[in-house]
Amino acid sequence: EYDNALKDIKGIDVIYDVSMGDATSNNIVFWAVRNVYQDEAVRSLPEKPKVAVVFHGPVVKLLSSDRSGFDEKNVSEIDKFQATLREMKKEGVTLEVCAYALKVLDVDPATVMPELDQVGNGFISVAGYQAQGYAVVRLP
């Protein structure tokens, strides 16, 4: 199925650069993000996939326990998104959130999911992973 894309590949290292602030959209897209490292074709490669996600921009509001400003439907979607992220963390995915974005968007760092590592500038993280050879996938 992926003969062309995975030809001569030892493993997949990928960093997802995420800023999408809509929980419903993130729930749809993160099914595909998880599928990348869960897919049998990827799992059968000689090296285990390495996956990281860096959050910045409007998405950081979805990573907080503070639900003020969200209606009931959005709260349900946020809960689902956070549950997915907790599962991803258990599956070995590195999750980081930009502290600068938290500050700019007025999100209290103390309310951020404990599964996320807080980094000063998410762009430095993305650039660092890229310099390490990770493929960058941007999710605006």
Tens-digit pLDDT profile for residues 105-137: 999 999 999 999 999 999 999 999 999 999 999
- Is residue 1 over pLDDT 90? no
- Model confidence, pTM: 0.95
Is residue 140 predicted with pLDDT exceeding 90? no
In this prediction, residue 62 carries a pLDDT of 98
Check: CB of residue 63 under 8 Å from CB of residue 97: yes
How far, in Å, CA of 122 to CA of 114, rounded? Answer: 17
13, 132 Cβ separation under 8 angstroms: yes
